Structure 1
């Protein structure tokens, strides 16, 4: 398949610019499995009734950091940076926007609110990212906390405000490191989580620090030529045990978001078994991929021609997904990070023996 196979027409006014009035107030499209079955227009509050008490619900506990920085060259030219990854206390990888990007040894200055100036020194390149060292101004995380801004997605047109500071984080956000939110988790509030627990579902977390590459357009049309951006993840022992127990009890593994799905599939060593510990993934999931861990998926609506749209097409079936997207456009669902959600069921067994 080619990138152009994943294009669709989306009226711009359906791109959500603000979150729903309350987290669980979004709409939920139950896509189901049977291609002949009608799509169900529901609400997020209907989700507990769609899941089995034996199911396991998995969230991403990454926290979005204030990763957007604005600086200047010593000559006065403006520089914008988006920190992709923090490398220890004083180094980072970042995207840089400037009239002329700094050369190795060049510096970027950031004016701090207290009048001090933080200095970043360019070390070199790592693919499309710039390796920078903070030579003054404290640690990288202190710099971000002091001078950074929340990195809202490029299709959200307003500047980040106090509402975004709260609503562009999930209730599970605990481990700083992401530059984009795991947006499927934004739909869950305390009341909905309590209803899920009362129904008997087990809830666990993993960590995948979402990188800015999630918004980068593919530059090739042939999917086999695309190289995914790297993202860090961690699978805790409790989660690995919960997955094994869920499968043994006849329950299903429900991933809340494509970030959770990618982490689980990257850590899979066999159907229903994941390796505990930290890792880095460049896994690119396209139609034809056989899922080994995830049975159901809660996810938002994704950008045309994006790797995330390819992932959900692999999960629920290409034709079924595009039927669902056409339906969502016709029914005026809200799209992308602050938009509505879908509930998907895996189109094929996780393994030929299942």
Structure 2
């Protein structure tokens, strides 16, 4: 399958640079796969739209300010360090992306404003490095000096009193993601309460969103793309609840592609949803037979991305691209801070 089959034309002005003022006032396109129908709703209506026998699964990962601007001790040059993955319990050793990569080598010392040191330990291809924070409690400095890791298509600097709140879900708990599970942005405490009142069970898993989710597809043939692995956690209780719900005919609604990858990745490895802490590099593209997920809430994704491939596998490529073309005509807002799509 060719990568350019997943391309579409998106006017730049439809890429949302900020979220809507109220989370649950996002527009929501509702796709019914059986009827091949498309409806236009507001996310606030979500609790009333989903079918009765639905369990909702959220990703409760929490974004941290992963973009650091440090100084090269030797020359005073400014170096961007984008933290990707924590490699030890103390958070001293990290996989990261460094720009400009050519300015650093193994052993280069980088410094925070207060003089605390970060040492480059290893250098790999594509700007990837391993670094070592040469002091205790690195998260203190990361939270003090780091910036919210907004995606590159948001063409503005992060606002200190705004983006750390809005580039985060209201149910975020487990720190470690370098990108947000953006389908969860639309939820408010009020929406969650209405789901509870309706008797809709809500469960949480964790996938620490990393480079793997957003890594661009640079190969011409889809099957040749390799996903980076991402860490996920499912508690024994949540695994039990999901399995029991499925056994009695209940449906699972994944809030976001990261939940899809967590549950389908777990099933692919173990043949069931299991209480584990593990890694997944599952790459979902058409044709793929979903084992766990029945419904999906997701935002609108980049052309030729692994995310639009996953959605195409779930709802059918032609139907998805018809919906995307309609979203463009109807002036929906796209990407992380944009509107959403509910696929039933």
Q: Which residue of 1 aligns with 2:304?
A: 305
Query: Given the alignment of the two structures, is residue 184 of structure 1 paired with residue 179 of structure 2, yes or no?
Result: no
Q: Deviations over 1:243-274 (max 9, x none)?
A: 12222332200000000000000111599931
Residues 31-110 of structure 1 mapped to structure 2, 5 A cutoff:
31-34=31-34, 37-73=36-72, 74-88=74-88, 89=90, 90-98=92-100, 100-110=102-112
In the alignment, the residues of structure 1 paired with residue 166 and residue 245 of structure 2 have an alpha-carbon distance, to the nearest angstrom, of: 31
User: For residues 99 and 184 of structure 1, do their structure 2 counterparts lie closer, same or farther at Cα, with a shift above 3 Å needed?
Assistant: closer
How far has the Cα of 1:168 moved from its partner? 0.8
CA contact (8 A) 1:52 1:251 kept: no
Residues 82-161 of structure 1 mapped to structure 2, 5 A cutoff:
82-88=82-88, 89=90, 90-98=92-100, 100-111=102-113, 116-125=114-123, 128=126, 129-136=128-135, 138-161=136-159
Q: Which residue of 2 aligns with 1:29?
A: 29
CA contact (8 A) 1:312 1:321 kept: yes
In the alignment, the residues of structure 1 paired with residue 148 and residue 282 of structure 2 have an alpha-carbon distance, to the nearest angstrom, of: 27
State the TM-score, normalized to the length of structure 1: 0.92
Q: Deviations over 1:178-216 (max 9, x none)?
A: 011000000000111111111111000000000134333
Report SS of the residue matched to 1:20: coil
User: For residues 338 and 75 of structure 1, do their structure 2 counterparts lie closer, same or farther at Cα, with a shift above 3 Å needed?
Assistant: same
Q: Which residue of 2 aligns with 1:167?
A: 166
CA contact (8 A) 2:212 2:281 kept: no
Query: Given the alignment of the two structures, is residue 265 of structure 1 paired with residue 264 of structure 2, yes or no?
Result: yes
Unmatched runs of 5 consecutive residues or more in structure 1? 346-354
How far has the Cα of 1:127 moved from its partner? 5.3
In the alignment, the residues of structure 1 paired with residue 41 and residue 309 of structure 2 have an alpha-carbon distance, to the nearest angstrom, of: 24
CA contact (8 A) 1:179 1:209 kept: yes
Q: Tell me how many residue pairs correspond in the alignment.
A: 339
In the alignment, the residues of structure 1 paired with residue 38 and residue 67 of structure 2 have an alpha-carbon distance, to the nearest angstrom, of: 39
State the TM-score, normalized to the length of structure 2: 0.94
How far has the Cα of 1:344 moved from its partner? 1.2
User: For residues 259 and 99 of structure 1, do their structure 2 counterparts lie closer, same or farther at Cα, with a shift above 3 Å needed?
Assistant: closer
How far has the Cα of 1:37 moved from its partner? 3.6
**Superposition RMSD in Å:** 1.7
Q: Which residue of 1 aligns with 2:13?
A: 13
How far has the Cα of 1:47 moved from its partner? 1.4
Residues 285-296 of structure 1 mapped to structure 2, 5 A cutoff:
285-296=284-295
How far has the Cα of 1:94 moved from its partner? 0.5
Q: Which residue of 2 aligns with 1:334?
A: 333
CA contact (8 A) 1:91 1:133 kept: yes
In the alignment, the residues of structure 2 paired with residue 7 and residue 37 of structure 1 have an alpha-carbon distance, to the nearest angstrom, of: 21
Q: Which residue of 2 aligns with 1:253?
A: 252
Unmatched runs of 5 consecutive residues or more in structure 2? none
